[in-house]
Amino acid sequence: MSNKTIFFDIDGTIYDENKKVPPSTSEAIAELKRLGHNVAIATGRAPYMFEGLREELEIDSYVSMNGQLVVYKGETIYRNPISTDSLKSLTVFAEKQDHPVAYMDPYGMKVNVDTHVDIETSIGSLKLALPQHDAEYFLNHDIYQAMIFCPEDKETVYVNEYPDLYFIRWHSVCMDVLPKNGSKANGIAQMMKALGVKKGDIYAFGDGLNDIEMLKFVGHGIAMGNAEHKVKEAASYVTRNVSDNGILEGLRMVGLL
């Protein structure tokens, strides 16, 4: 069997509900690498948010911030920041709705308000430190992903107002903001160009709404058992829950282990 490339989402895929890596997942990923396959991460997180995980699993290739920054074997091969003008307009509009905005680059995240319960609820669910206040951060840094902290019934307001941006909800009170062409699928396509590989040799595991395009795009999309229904519909395969050896069983299901 020729070498394959396998992409793994983090939250709900590599990480279980306690933000831990199940032993069977660590062992399965180590075995993939021993067999000569390429292993990469595909996540909505910024690189600083999963540095420890990369070290733990010894993975140096990743599609981060939902495809906006792509790194292969430690070298950046693709960047796709949001324009400053778009962020200025979005911030003014969100402030009128009383919705906080977060700005994310590879090294950190800042928010345009001192504190807000929706920030605590959503970012807190990732077991990460809450971002600091810096309303002008986006003016002096390349921002690859923003976040709008708003309820689901307000989502269409932004979709209609900003057709040049792409909104992906990942929490009941928060959605990611990307350039229109932004997605994990696009990030994977950029890595495929660098590797010179075909879709038939690409596999991906995911569980969230921001994984749908990725699972549809790759040759072999595997949804976790704990994935939302829409995600399972987009996948070619559905494995077990992340905490029930889901990664290991999924890799066996597609014949990689």
pLDDT at 16: 97
Pairwise CA distance, residues 144 & 212, whole Å = 20
The chain-wide mean pLDDT, for the chain, equals 96
pLDDT digits (tens, 9 = 90+) for 21-55: 999 999 999 999 999 999 999 999 999 999 999 99
pLDDT at 2: 75
Q: Which residues are catalytic?
A: 9
pLDDT digits (tens, 9 = 90+) for 54-64: 999 999 999 99
**CA distance between the termini of the chain:** 11
pLDDT at 110: 98
- Compute the average pLDDT of residues 220-242: 98
On the 0-12 / 13-18 / 19+ scale of CB atoms within 10 A, 75 is exposed
pLDDT digits (tens, 9 = 90+) for 136-148: 999 999 999 999 9
Please give the domain boundaries of the chain with CATH numbers for all domains. 5-79+182-253 (3.40.50.1000), 84-179 (3.30.1240.10)
- pLDDT cut 70: percent of the chain above it: 100
Whether residue 1 has pLDDT greater than 70: no
